[in-house]
Amino acid sequence: MTDALGSIDMPERGRSEDGTTESQKKPRRGGKRGKKGPFARLALFYRQVIAELRKVVWPTRSQLSSYTTVVIVFVAIIIGLVTVIDLGINRVVGYVFG
């Protein structure tokens, strides 16, 4: 339901849902992250990356070789499939337009 000014469900322009205007709100502060320089943030990023890499469960050598073999065989099969489809489409196009 609406009145002359607009929807009842929507708050007034310039006012938030709690009834305060935008000028009454406190400015948002950056906290600890906003006070660090670019090199400190970069160092923090690298420390976090190293911490995450320590959590990774790395495969054994035999698992790695079997995964690699599976990927190479799968890629070879897909290459063969695409080649056969390409040759078939090439022959059909050559028959129709040639």
Give the separation between CA 41 and CA 43, rounded to whole angstroms.
5
> In terms of residue numbers, what domain contains 73?
59-97
Stretches in the chain below the pLDDT threshold 70: 1-34
Write down the pTM of the prediction: 0.48
Q: What is the pLDDT of residue 35?
A: 74
Q: What is the pLDDT of residue 9?
A: 61
The answer to whether residue 40 sits within a structural domain is no
| H runs (alpha helix) in 3-60 | 31-35, 38-55
The answer to whether residue 68 sits within a structural domain is yes
Q: What is the pLDDT of residue 36?
A: 81
Q: What is the pLDDT of residue 27?
A: 61
Q: What is the pLDDT of residue 16?
A: 59
Q: What is the number of structural domains in the chain?
A: 1
